[in-house]
Structure formats: structure tokens, C-alpha cells
Structure 1
Amino acid sequence: MKMNDTIARLLKDLGVAQMFGVIGDVNLFIVDRFMKEGGRYTSATTESAAVLMASGWAQVTGKTGVATVTCGPGLVNALMPIVEAVKGHVPMVIVTGDSLSKFKYHPQSASHREFVLATGAGYEAPRRIEDVPRDLVHAFQRAWAERRPIVFNFPSYDQQWEDIGEYQPPRLHTPERLGTQLDTEALELAVGIIASAKRPIVLAGYGVVTSGQRDAVLQFAKRLDAPVMTTLRTKDLFRGEAGNLGVLGISGREEVTEAVGVSDCVIAFGASLHMFTTANGTLLNKKRLVLVAEDRHDIGRTMAVDAAILGEPGAVAERMLYWLDEAEIPSSQFAFEEVVTQAVAAIAASYDTPLPAPSDAPITIQQALLAIEHAVQEERLLVTDGGRFMRQPWQLMRVQQPRHFIAGNLFGAIGTGIGYAIGAAVAERGLPTLAVVGDGGFMLGGLTEFHTAVREKLDLIVVLCNDGGYGAEYLHFTDHGMDPSLALFDWPEFSEVATTMGGQGLVVRTQADLGAMQQAIRTRTPGKPLLIDLKLDPKTMPRTF
């Protein structure tokens, strides 16, 4: 079987049903054969967006995402989202290949290996064409095991029509992660710290989502009568549970500040405890810290801990619960203290804020996002881009489970939101996808891909927080008493552009427009993406942090 046919057949037999990409000389025949094999392919406008789509799809489904780009500039254009996926521990395989071997100085020739390794991703490159099947399977094995993108780079594309021998079905083993935690000194130390805590908080990180151990961690928290919190990527894991204080960190709610402040112990499961979760460590001052991590590299990577346990979150939670029961340690009752119950009540009440009376007063981002929150069905996906606006949707908009939420700012970049949202929407075509983006990011990476959403007939609602420029840069200028005009732009009318592209467009300027906006959301055509252009004042927009 020829090399390009072999790659496409292997992808199918490895269980790949969806691929994203931009075709070129390297991969066009592979994509064609993949589709003939029954695979679904979503064609992006840019390579960067193709990788973001695969990443968004992977985060929603919990499976390995697949993207394909051409050689040289195609792969280089995809480097930023590869870094983003590395930082997010997203398993992906990106298929590309080398330029023509017969030209020593081919214009698209590039040192793929060096580019890829600089991002932190893995790299697989068969030395011989007969090694292609084995090494492609290895790339998928590595993506699953290492929880990061692996770039599979096959030999020069002029060899893809060569016969590489009889096709052999792939053998890919991805065993279920079964954690068995022994009674170690570390566990004994952790249980002792927990037993002496008066006001413990149980924190669930993204590792709890990927391991599927929500219920075990929640049961542990209930045994302690401890309030529960999550990291940002684990948002709404405990939605509806008593004692749920939401997200810990600078992206969390102000209502929980006092409750977090009086706590004396944090038991963290599968959390990286980076600077945003801990506010550079200040939120954990004068608190004992117990960390449960599956990867030894997560221990001590961002801050010192009082007790660290290597193990799968659910297994460790169950074992700690066993020893607390054996020792007859009483519960803390912290979840029922007034400081916690008042915070939980205040958060719940904030979502019930009524719409302002119709008037010509300009909208605020809070009013608009709450109106959208109540106009879209509860079972939906939420994707946010990076930008000055992003803290508001994190706090004011909810999902039913963390896999339905993607915070597109892992690399601190803007312009990721629409790519992520398309991948998420393709993964869950039966649900609406809310993409909350800024105008700068939309122009940087989203405008061209809006048409991709139109072509794919996605139920996508783009909420454009449009303050007419680059928000962070606007603040830097004004904070120093300088003219911010360099950060402001005269954008086109995005609603008209969306309509021209085949979608739907709507402008929201005043409080009188909010009711009509809700009606437009409820009566939208699901297969026709809707763009809502929120006209916001950069002078009154809240700060990110």
C-alpha cells in the first residue's frame, strides 16, 4: 500500500473519526483518502486555527485530537497553538511531512524538529518510509501517555506514492489509569494535617476532570464538611453542590474572599497551583497545603507543600477518607459556617439579577453577559478568548460540566477563541456553543474562521466584547497618563461582515437592546452562526484582574 493511503487507513483504524487542517502539497492526498475511508474533515482557513480546533475538540471529548498541516510555513504558522496545547496538557497528533527531497534548497524547507521541540511538544519522524506505520502508532501512544501534542513528520512528500508494503492493522494500547495508593508516610502525614485542620477547603484541579474522579473527591469533601473549590479549567465541576465556592484564584468571585481568608488548610487534587490559582501564593498564606498529584513533576513545581502524595485523585481521596473514619476524626463543619453559607448565597443571587429597564443608557459587559446567560439553554458549551474582558464570562456564565468550558488563554495569547469554539462545536453538534471574544482577538484570529463556522453550519453564538481596541494596552497607556489612541482602532461593522459571510449579525448598544438580543438568541437559526457585537466603552470596561 502507498504511504499516503497507509497513513489515512491507519488514522481510521486508530479510531480517528474527525480531523482538522489546512491542505497543501504534503497532506492533500492523505486528507482525500481519509475522507474516502469515512473520516470527517473540517477545513480551517489558517493552520493556527486548525490546531486550535483539534485542541478544542480534544478538550471537550477527552480524546486525542488530530490536525494536519503542510510543510515549512504551514507548520510554522501552527506553532503558537501547539505551545498553548503543551501548556494545557492536551493530547494531540499533528500530521505533516518534509518538503521535496530532490531539491536541496526547496523554499518550503524548514527544520521541523527544532521548531517543534522549542514549543515543548513531542516529535516523531520515521527515517524510512517503511517505518511510517509503526511510528504513527507510536505518536498516538505518546500523545496519550505524555498528555501533550506530538508532531508526526513523515518523509518527504514526493515519496508518498511509493509502496511501503502490505498493510498491517495498528496495535495501540492505552490502558485505563487505575490508581492504587499504598499507605505511605506521605499519606500518614497528609491525614494528620487534615485531621488537625479547623477550616479546610477541598480544591479540585483539571486532573480530577481527566481522571473522571469528581465523585470520589466530592465524597471526601462531604466527609470533612469542607467547602469545595476548583481551578479555572475545572469550572462548575461542583455546580449545584452545597458549599461550592466556585473558582479559587484571581479569576474567582469576590464573594468568597473572606471564606478563603479564614481557612487554614487546602487539600488540592490534580491541581497545578499556578500563579493565577494562588494569586502568586498569597491565597495560601498561613495555610497548610496537601497536594495529590499523578505526576511527580507537579510537586513543588510552583510552590512548596506541607504534604505531597503521588497517586490518582480518586484512589487517594478514598484512602484518606478510610483513615479519617478509622481514627474517628470529626468533620470540620466549615461548610456550614456563616462565612461560607453567605458567600454561596451571594453567588447564587448574583445570577438572578434582573435586566435593567429599557433605556438609552449604554450597556455594561456585566448586563449583557447576564442577559445572554439566561437566553441560552443551560446545556451548552462556553469558550473564551484571552483579553481584558475574559474575567467577566468566567464569573457570570456557567456550564453543566468542565469539559464544556475552554478558557483560551493558556499561553496568554489573544485570537484563540474562535478556533477553539469551532472544535468544541464540532465535538458537540447537538449543543449551542458560546464563544466570548474581544474585538482585537477576533480581528487577529477569529474573523477569517467565522466563515469556517458558517461552512460547517455550526450552532455558534459569538459574543464580541467590542471596546474598539486592545484593552490591556489601553490600560497601560492610561495608567501612565498617556494618550491611548495607539491602542484604539476603527474596526469594520462586525455584524455586517458576519451577515455578508452567511451568518447572522446583531448590534447591542443600549439597555433597550438587551431584550431584543435575548429574543434573537432564542429564535436564531441553529445552523447559521450568530455574531452579537456588544458596543462597550473602554473607559468603563472592568480590568481583567
Structure 2
Amino acid sequence: MKAYEALAEAFVREGTRDVFGMMGDANMHWMNALAQRGVRLYEVRHEGSGLGMADGWARTAGAPGVVTTTSGPGTSQLATSMIVASRARTPLVAFCGETTWGDQGAVQYLDQRRFAAAIECEFVHLSRPDLAEEAVQRAFYLARTESRPVMLSAPIDVQTKDYGEEDLDSYVPSTDLITRPRLLPDPDRVATAGDIVEASRRVVIIAGRGARAAGAAEQILRLQEQTGALLATTLQAKNWLCGDTDYHVGISGLFGSKVAMELLQEADCVIAVGASLNHYTIEHGYLFPEAKYVQVDTSPHIVMGNGAVADCYIQADAVTALTELSRALEKRSVRHEGFHTDDVLRRLTAPLQEPAEYQGERDRLDPREAIRVMDAEIPGEIGLVLGSGHQVDFGTMLFQRSREVLSNYGMFGAIGQAPLLTIGSIVASGGRPAFVVEGDASFLMHLPEFETACRYGLPILVVVMNDEALGAEYHKLRVNGLDQELAVIPTPELGDVAVALGGSGATVRTTDELSAALADYVRDPRPTVIDVRITRNVLSVPYRRLWYGENV
């Protein structure tokens, strides 16, 4: 048995079923061994794209994603996507081939250990063939326990040496080494939290990605009922539980609605569950000026976005902590009306106020109107991925239908990642359709990967909000008194490009054309691009708040 075979077998034992990447001479033996073991290999057009797909796979599956590259330039292509995954705290393992160990004169030589440190991932090196299983186990252990990417760097000469006799039962998966008992809350902290909540009258619960991952929905809704709380989410948990309560206010922070902003400022107590309360979520503290904070998280401690610490910090599993807090409040007979009034309900359930007049121009839609049409016509069971950039602000705020939402906003600020995340997410879900909303510059950055989706028949819908410009820079140039035309970049008809790459596509300029294109995809989900031509004359609400101080 060769070392590369032992490596492949160990990956399989770790649960690997899908691998994204590009083949080269330093990883082809390992990829061949994986294929022989039934692992599905997704050959991509760029190594960094493969990592983006592995990132989306991991975020959807809740397990480490896997990407592979060859040595040197193959590995160096991972840089941007690796940092995105690191900032998103995504567990994944990158199997990177390496030139012959010690041969610094090799054409593809790269000090991959130093490179890994620069792109913010852990590093595991295969130094001897007999350590193959140990290296894989350690890589997956680090990915799982530290929730971050890990580079497993394997010199080609070490991979092709003899490993020893095959023993299929000897490998111990990293999952067998990890015990995750529920962190029990300190009773004194629970009592302190009870004191704060009992003395409060306007409670807000902010649920984050950690609360959703912990499966704390039932406990959050119970606590909300006891306290009369408004339920808000972080951006990363957008729309979670919005179909389960009438008193859901949407996103807390910069991307919140005007109604949300007004109501949340009345809070005298904020209970954060699995939410870091970064400066986006609490607007540097301006959003909750009079509130005391109770924070529940599994981390030892968190400094909030206003530079302060919570009035009561409970390090515990969300389910256990909220169960104990609810029990403590029940013993005290705490039952607040809080925000649960007819007036608040009327404000929350009123339709989103549409602009008095959409600002479309000839052959170009108002982006807000495009989002309204999409939200109405794409069924809730079709998940949504949001990218980054100015045009994504509209969807981040205006998509209201209850559906699974994955947002890449704030993860290193790298455009172009969202379509990759969507492809990986679709693979992880077993081929369930999903749509992604991106800008034209973002989509074109990794255009070849739409062909990858076509090649594997993945039912991705890419909605390109196309203003034929670098949208954020277009508006920033104006704010700074510079020439906006420098950010204008014409694009071809992207619907036709999608067809040329083997998929379906349409370029739309009216709501009727958009509705028809969406209906076509919903009727028969397949790789599709809808190029939505939008005006550049509409500035998003977050930008209006940040740059012009508008109360919108």
C-alpha cells in the first residue's frame, strides 16, 4: 500500500464524499485513489474556485469540506478564498501536493508552511509515509475543533513511498476523538441574567448563526413569549424563524429596516444567543443606547462591537442556557407584555413601503423592484446565497420570504465568492436547487465556474444584478467628488454567454421578462443565468445611511 492510498482511505474514513479542485502531478495519485473508493471529484477551472465550493459545501453540510491542488502555483491560487473561509470560520481541509521534499530548486517550489500562515489557515505537513493516517486525522481534528481551514501539505515523493500493510480497521476518525458535551451554564450567571430580564420591560433577543447551528429555535421562541421580546437576527442568520413568530423584526444593525431601527432603540435589555454582537449588529452601540446585555455563547468570552463586554455573559450551550433562563423566569412568574402589543404588530406586519416611484430607466430596472419580483416568484424551498458589493445590499434588506439564506457579506469583502459557495452548497444538499444574487463584476470574476456547474448538471440559478459597473466604487467616486465613469465597465449579454457555456440564460430589462425567466427556471431547475439590467441611479439604504446620514 502506498502512502497516497493510505491518505485517500483516511479521507474516506473521515466522511469525505465530495472533493473540489484541480489535478496536477502532485495530487493525481491521491485523486485517483479517492475515485477508486467512490468519492465524487469535481474538477474546477481555478483552484481558488474549488476552495470556494468546498467552503459552501461545509457551511451547508456542517462538516469539513475538502479541496485539492497540486504543488506551488496550484496552492498559491487558494489565497483569497482561503482567507474568506478563515474569516467565516469554515472547517475545511485543503489537500495540497508539494514538490519533492527539500528540493528548493524545483520549478513549482513554494514554502507552503509560510504561505499557509499568510493566508490564515492551519498547516499539517506529511513528513514520512508511515505518518499518512496521523496527518489526515490531525488535519480533520483541527478543522473540526477550531472551526477553520487546514492545509495538509504532502510532498510527492513521500506520497508515492510504501506505507506498509493495509489494515482497513486501524484508522480512528477524528470524530471519535472529539466529545462535545453541552456546556452547562453557571447557576449564578443564570440568576444574574434573570435579575436583568425581570427588571426590564422592552426585551430584544438577537439570534445569530451559533443559535441556528445549536438548534435553539424552540428555546428562543419560548423565551420570546415569556418576555414579550422582539426577535431579531444577525446578518448571518437572516430570515431565521421569521415564519414562526409575528414579532420578528428582521436583521439588527446596518441592514435593518427603518421600523427595526426605531423599535430596537427602545430596548432596555438585549439577549444575544450565538451572536458576536459585532459593530454591524449593534451599530457600534448606538442601536441599543439604554440596554443591558445578556450574552449566551460557547466561546469563553466576547468583546462586543462597541468595545464593551456584556453585563451578564453566560458561556454555555444555547439550548441548555435558554432552558435554564426560562425556568428561572418561570419560577419568578416573569411575564412581560413588552413589545407584544397591537401597535407593534401593526408596524411589523405592514407591507414594506415601496418607493412612490421606482427609478427605472429605459431598458433598466430599479433594483428594488427586481428583488420584489424575485422574492414573490421563487418558492421558499429554493435557498438563497447573497454575495457582497453594493447591489447585494438591496437583496440583503428586501428579501422577506422565509427560506434558507447563506450570506457572504463581511467575509474579507471579497467579491465573486457567492456563486462558488452556491455550487458547493448544492452539491452538499444532494442537488437541491438554489439561487444566488450577485453583481456583474462579481459573476464575471469566476465566469468559467458556471461551465463547471453545467458540466455536472447542478441546478444553480445565478441572478446577475447588472449595472455594468463596479457598483460600490461608482457611488463612492461620487461621494469623493471623483469621475464616476471610471467605474463603468460594459458587459456582454450574459444570458447568451450562459447558453454558450452549456446552460440556460436570459437577459431581462422589464419585470415581465424577469417573471418569465424565473418561471422558466422554477419549472425546470438547471444551470441558468438571468442577466437583470438595473439602473445605477438608486443608492442602497446602507450606503445612504453611511455616507449621507439619511434616516431611512
**TM-score tier after normalising by the smaller chain length:** over 0.9
Map 1:8-407 onto structure 2 (within 5 A).
8-101=8-101, 103-154=103-154, 156-168=155-167, 169-172=170-173, 173=176, 175=178, 177-240=180-243, 241-299=245-303, 303-329=308-334, 331-338=335-342, 340-346=344-350, 349-350=351-352, 362-398=364-400, 400=402, 402=404, 404-407=405-408
Counterparts of 2:157 and 2:320, CA distance in 1: 51
Residue equivalent to 1:530: 528
Counterparts of 2:434 and 2:420, CA distance in 1: 12
Structure 1, unmatched stretches of 5+, are: none
Local SS of the residue matching 2:58: helix
Local SS of the residue matching 1:335: coil
Asked if 2 retains the 8 angstrom alpha-carbon contact of 1:361 and 1:511, the reply is: no
Counterparts of 1:224 and 1:272, CA distance in 2: 22
Please report how far the alpha carbon of residue 492 of structure 1 lies from its aligned counterpart in structure 2 after TM superposition.
2.1
Local SS of the residue matching 1:378: coil
Question: CA offsets per residue over residues 169-215 of structure 1, 9 Å max, x none?
Answer: 42122646332424443332222111111100111111112222222
Please report how far the alpha carbon of residue 449 of structure 1 lies from its aligned counterpart in structure 2 after TM superposition.
0.8
Residue equivalent to 2:540: 542
Question: Cα gap change, 1:441/1:544 in structure 2, threshold over 3 Å: closer, same or farther?
Answer: farther
Asked if 1 retains the 8 angstrom alpha-carbon contact of 2:183 and 2:315, the reply is: no
Please report how far the alpha carbon of residue 339 of structure 1 lies from its aligned counterpart in structure 2 after TM superposition.
5.1
Question: CA offsets per residue over residues 488-514 of structure 1, 9 Å max, x none?
Answer: 112222111111101111111134434
Structure 2, unmatched stretches of 5+, are: 544-552
Q: How many residues in Structure 1 have an aligned counterpart in Structure 2? A: 536
Local SS of the residue matching 2:339: helix
Question: CA offsets per residue over residues 261-296 of structure 1, 9 Å max, x none?
Answer: 111110001111112111222212221111111011
Q: Work out the percentage of aligned pairs sharing the same amino acid.
A: 26
Counterparts of 1:351 and 1:21, CA distance in 2: 45
Asked if 2 retains the 8 angstrom alpha-carbon contact of 1:139 and 1:152, the reply is: yes
Tell whether 2:500 aligns with 1:500: yes
Amino acid at match of 1:212: G
Counterparts of 1:536 and 1:182, CA distance in 2: 51
Question: Cα gap change, 1:99/1:299 in structure 2, threshold over 3 Å: closer, same or farther?
Answer: same
Residue equivalent to 1:479: 479
Local SS of the residue matching 2:468: coil
Asked if 2 retains the 8 angstrom alpha-carbon contact of 1:365 and 1:541, the reply is: no
Residue equivalent to 2:547: none
Counterparts of 1:307 and 1:190, CA distance in 2: 6
Question: Cα gap change, 1:147/1:54 in structure 2, threshold over 3 Å: closer, same or farther?
Answer: same
Amino acid at match of 2:327: Y
Please report how far the alpha carbon of residue 336 of structure 1 lies from its aligned counterpart in structure 2 after TM superposition.
1.4
Compute the TM-score of the two structures, normalised by the length of structure 2. 0.92
Counterparts of 1:515 and 1:381, CA distance in 2: 18
Please report how far the alpha carbon of residue 297 of structure 1 lies from its aligned counterpart in structure 2 after TM superposition.
4.5
Asked if 1 retains the 8 angstrom alpha-carbon contact of 2:437 and 2:464, the reply is: yes
Please report how far the alpha carbon of residue 315 of structure 1 lies from its aligned counterpart in structure 2 after TM superposition.
0.7
Please report how far the alpha carbon of residue 335 of structure 1 lies from its aligned counterpart in structure 2 after TM superposition.
3.3
Local SS of the residue matching 2:140: helix
Counterparts of 2:161 and 2:286, CA distance in 1: 60
Please report how far the alpha carbon of residue 444 of structure 1 lies from its aligned counterpart in structure 2 after TM superposition.
1.8
Amino acid at match of 2:162: D
My pick for the range that moved more, 481-490 or 310-319, is: 481-490
Local SS of the residue matching 2:438: strand
Asked if 1 retains the 8 angstrom alpha-carbon contact of 2:297 and 2:318, the reply is: yes
My pick for the range that moved more, 173-182 or 132-141, is: 173-182
Please report how far the alpha carbon of residue 38 of structure 1 lies from its aligned counterpart in structure 2 after TM superposition.
0.6
Question: Cα gap change, 1:196/1:132 in structure 2, threshold over 3 Å: closer, same or farther?
Answer: same
Residue equivalent to 1:448: 448
Counterparts of 2:10 and 2:242, CA distance in 1: 40
Please report how far the alpha carbon of residue 308 of structure 1 lies from its aligned counterpart in structure 2 after TM superposition.
0.8
Local SS of the residue matching 2:294: strand
Question: Cα gap change, 1:343/1:64 in structure 2, threshold over 3 Å: closer, same or farther?
Answer: farther
Counterparts of 1:131 and 1:340, CA distance in 2: 62
